[in-house]
Every structure is written in structure tokens, then in C-alpha cells.
Chain A
Amino acid sequence: MIRSSVYNTGMSKQAMREPTFLILTALAAGPQHGYGILNDVARISDDRVRLRAGTLYAALDRLRSDGVIDVDGEEIVDGRLRRYYRLTPSGTQVLAAEAARMAVNATVAMHRLNPGTAALADAIA
């Protein structure tokens, strides 16, 4: 990787966009190819987010250049290139940090919406 970490601070400091979060979440379970990521993102989001190829590959290119994901391997299936992507260690950290940030926000929101239920849920947890 050529780019220094100086140039890669943006993702960790800004809120991640939902498609990016879902792509990284799809890869958290293991390496996947492009079509697999599309289907997994739809499944994770309960069909609310359906990515298309243009959006997906623009995102994959950006995430690769940020060092968040990398190519895990390639194969030829029915005469067509299939490339697998995986999270890098840095990508795992970025996803974990974003998930933790969202969880904290969600907890605060639940507490404020319904203090009694949230306190009970905290006690049970």
C-alpha cells in the first residue's frame, strides 16, 4: 500500500454511509465476490438496500484505495472473472468502530424514547 495513513483518516472520522457499512458487514463474514456482496447486502438490509453494479464497484474501488478491503483471490467461472474481496485488519477496525458508534447512538435514542423499557433491557442484559 502506497498511501500513507495521513490520507486515510477520513473514513474513521466521518459517519460511514449505509451502503459502505453494509458492504463491509457483508465481508465481515468472510471473502465474497461482487455478485455475492450484492445479494448479501440485500439480505442484511431486509431488501431495503439493493445495490447495483455501478455503485458497488465505485465503492469497492474507494475502499480498496483506502486500504479497508483487499482482493482475496480470483477464479474464472463460465469464462468470466470472479474476484473475491475481504476485509483488511484496518477494515475490521473501521467496521467495529462504526458499529460501536451506531450502537451507542441507538442506545441513547432508545433510552430517550422509552426510559422504562430501556432500563429494563439494560438490567436484563
Chain B
Amino acid sequence: MNDTSALERWYRRLLAWFPAEHRRAYGDEMIGVLLAAGSEGRRRPAAGDVIDLIRGGLRARLRQAGDGSPDVGWRDALAVFSIVAPAMALEYFVVNNAVDWAYKLLSYPPGMALYVNNGPIALGGLVIFLAVTLPPLLALRGFRRTAIVAASIPAAVLTLFRIGSLVGSRKNFFLLLGLDGYLLLSVLVVIALAVSPGPRRGAAIMTARTWSVVAIAAGIAAVATTDLRYAYQAGTKVEAIVLAATFAAAAVGLVVTLPARVGRRLLLLLAIPGYAIVMELVANGGLPFANTVDQFGIGLIYPPTAVLIGVVGVLAWRSGRRSRETVDHDHAA
């Protein structure tokens, strides 16, 4: 075996640090450059080349795993999510509470209304809602990094509380307060702000008709579930039907008013916190299966959510891979 072939084999082994796509695109070319730049008679790579190839390979893999992974369609869907999900949540909270409080204040003396409507819990809910829904406004104003930091705070706090509640005796306390949906929403908002072009791009993609769909759906859901939000009040099948019909109509409306692929991907993203929120409404509102949800708690929320996240992850990874292959093909052509 001559020196060049021994050295080439060393370099080929080191190129394994790079992603397969990178090796396919540049592998042979890099070997040529490495051999041309190497000293005559050398049988093993120089230490500097070894370190450089390992570092370059790790960087290429990190880049692929980070901003290179989701393709434009997924990043656009995340951009729309970063503005639609917080807007829907905020409208839901404001309308739902306004109707609730108006009804209670008309029906009871003020002190009693505060008690019946779980005043302190409602105040805590307001703080959580504002913490989850307002950071995208910072990104809209151009403060994207500040928005990511601000959105990370409720995500971290809710995650810590959720982990803490698993250790305690009341494992379903989180479920009772309806916080799992907002935990998932806050984490997804952080991801959307970090890896997508952000709410400005989302707003540019959305049309007036998309905003109408969002506003109407959140408004109807908020009013329909008014009686479900305070404890011990049984919900009705009519409310469940209204809610299901609203979500179905909103899903169709979003797909129709957005670019097709962005709309479908947005639905998958919305379904992640949406499923948990619906299960919590069922658990707290006495809808059909409420006892089952209450009994099994997080076991009914997180396994399906994990499957959904897995499906979204695989789809995003596959489309990112297809997109990169298309770019490589375009470059090669």
C-alpha cells in the first residue's frame, strides 16, 4: 500500500464526521484538496487537519440540525403559528373571562362573584396568559432575541411546576388548572420564535380572511366554553358539539385561506397544545369522558401529544432533507 492511498483512507475515515449530504457533495473534492495540501511522504494526517476536520464536521452537523433542518414551508408554518396561537389564546382568555365575569357579577353580589369565579386563580391565569401571549409582540416590534428570552420564562416556569407536580401528591393539579395546554403552547412559541422568521413573516403570509377565521373561531370557542371554566360546573353535550364544530370549521378555514402546505402544517402545530387544552376542558367541565380524563390525567394528555410531536418532527425532518437535496440538485445542474 503506497503512502497516498494510506493517507487517503485516513482522510476518508475523518470525513465520517461530516453529514452524509456534505460528504456526497464535497467528499471527493475535499480528499483532493487535503492530499494536495499535505506534505510529501506523509502516511497519517497532520494533527491540525484531524482537529480541523472533526471541528468542521461537527459544525456542519450542528448547522444541519439547527437552522438548516426545517424547510421554508415548515418555517413559514412556525412563523404563522408564532402569531396565530398567542392571538387565539389571548382572544379566548379575554372573551371567555369577560362573559364569565359579566354573568357572575349580574347574578351574584360582587364578593360572591369573586368567590364563585375563583378570583385569585383567574388573576394567576391572567399573568400566565400575558406571559405566554405577549412576547411575540416584542418580535413584531423587531426585538426578536428579547422576545425569545421573554417567551422562555413562562415556558421554563411552567415546565418546572409541571415536573414538581409529578413529585407531589396531587399529580392532576396541573390538569385541574388547565395549564398543560399553556405549557405546550409556551414551549412551541419559543421554538417558533427561535427557528422561524417570526411573527412579521407570519403576519405577511396571513390574509384578512385568515384573521377573520382566527377571530371567529376563538370567539365562538370562548363563549361556548364559558360554563366549563369554573370548577364543579357540569358542561353539556351541546357545548362539546359547538366546540368540535368550531374547531373543524376553523381547520378548514385556515387551510383554505393560507397557502395549502403552510395551512396543513399549521394545523398540526396547533393540534399539539390544542389537544391538551381540549382534554383539560373535558376534565374540568364534566363533558363526556370527563371522569376518564380526570382519573388518568396526564397519561391521557402526554402520550398522544408525544406521538403528535414525533409525527411533526419526522415530517419536518423529511421535508428539510428533501429541500436540501433539491438545493444540491439545483447547484449540481
One digit per residue, 1 when the CB lies within 8 angstroms of any chain B CB and 0 when it does not, for chain A 51-95 equals 011111110111011000011000001001111000000000000
Given that A4-B72, A34-B29, A61-B22 are contacting pairs, would A53 and B52 also be in contact in the complex, using a CB cutoff of 8 Å?
yes
Is B59 among interface residues, defined by CB-CB distance under 8 A?
yes
Interface contact A53-B37, CB-CB below 8 Å: yes
Beta-carbon contact of A35 and B36 below 8 Å? yes
Interface SS of chain A:
helix
Q: Which residue on A lies nearest to B71, using beta carbons?
A: A2
B261 interface residue (CB < 8 Å to A): no
- The verdict on A53 contacting B34 (CB below 8 Å), with A81-B29, A82-B29 known, is yes
Q: Is the CB of B32 within 8 A of A35?
A: yes
Is there a chain A Cβ closer than 8 Å to B3's Cβ? Answer: no
CA A44 – CA B108 in complex, angstroms? Answer: 82
Q: Which B residues touch A62, using CB under 8 A?
A: 63
B26 touches A61 (CB 8 A): yes
Contact with B68, one of A38, A54, A58, A65 (Cβ below 8 angstroms): A65
Instruction: Give the complex CA separation of A103 and B321 in angstroms.
Output: 40
Chain B CB within 8 A of A3 CB: yes
Q: Does any Cβ of A come within 8 Å of B327's Cβ?
A: yes
Asked if A7 meets B327 with Cβ closer than 8 Å, knowing A35-B37, A53-B30, the reply is no
Q: A62-B63, A65-B327 are in contact. Are A54 and B72 (CB under 8 A)?
A: no
Q: Which residues of chain A come closer than 8 Å to B32, judged between CB atoms?
A: 34-35, 77, 80-82
Decide if A3 touches B33 in the complex (CB within 8 Å). Answer: no
**Residues in B whose Cβ lies below 8 Å from that of A4:** 72
* Minimal beta-carbon separation of B54 from chain A (angstroms): 8
Q: Is the CB of B36 within 8 A of A7?
A: no
Is A124 among interface residues, defined by CB-CB distance under 8 A? no
Closest to B46 in A: A52
Q: Are A34 and B30 touching (Cβ within 8 A)?
A: yes
Cβ A54 vs Cβ B331 within 8 A: no
Please determine whether B327 and A53 come into contact, CB atoms closer than 8 angstroms: no
Q: Is A123 an interface residue (CB 8 A)?
A: no
For A82, list chain B residues within 8 Å (CB). Answer: 29, 32
CB-contacts of A28-48 with B (<8 A): 34-35, 38
Interface residue from B26, B67, B330 paired with A57 (Cβ < 8 Å):
B26
Rounded to whole Å, the gap between the CB of A38 and the closest CB of chain B is 6
Other-chain contact of A81, B28, B52, B68 (Cβ < 8 Å): B28
A113 within 8 A of B: no
Most buried by A among B26, B33, B55: B33
**Closest chain B residue, CB of each to CB of A37:** B33
Residues in A with CB closer than 8 Å to B30 are 34, 53-54, 57
Q: A2-B327, A53-B53, A54-B52 are contacts. A61–B25 as well, Cβ < 8 Å?
A: yes
Q: Contacting B60 at CB < 8 Å: which of A34, A61, A83?
A: A61
Q: Which residues of B contact A7 (CB under 8 A)?
A: 67, 72, 75, 197
Interface: A6 (CB within 8 A): yes
What CA separation (Å) do A65 and B55 show in the bound complex? Answer: 19
CB-nearest residue of chain A relative to B79? A6
Residue of A with least CB distance to B19? A61
Which residues of A does B touch, CB under 8 Å?
1-4, 6-7, 34-35, 38, 52-58, 60-62, 64-65, 70-71, 77, 80-83
Question: Which 4 residue pairs across A and B have the least CB separation, nearest first?
Answer: A54-B56, A80-B32, A52-B52, A54-B52
Supplied contacts A52-B37, A52-B49, 17 more A-B pairs, CB within 8 Å: A1-B327, A3-B72, A7-B67, A7-B75, A35-B37, A38-B33, A38-B37, A52-B52, A53-B33, A54-B30, A57-B26, A58-B59, A58-B60, A71-B331, A80-B29, A82-B32, A83-B29
* B interface residues (Cβ-Cβ under 8 A, vs A): 22, 25-26, 28-37, 48-49, 52-57, 59-60, 63, 67-68, 71-72, 75, 197, 201, 323, 326-327, 330-332
Can you list 23 A-B contacts with CB-CB less than 8 angstroms, sorted by A residue number?
A1-B330, A2-B72, A2-B323, A3-B327, A6-B197, A6-B201, A7-B67, A34-B29, A34-B32, A34-B33, A38-B37, A52-B48, A53-B30, A53-B33, A53-B34, A53-B52, A53-B53, A54-B55, A58-B63, A61-B25, A61-B26, A65-B327, A80-B28
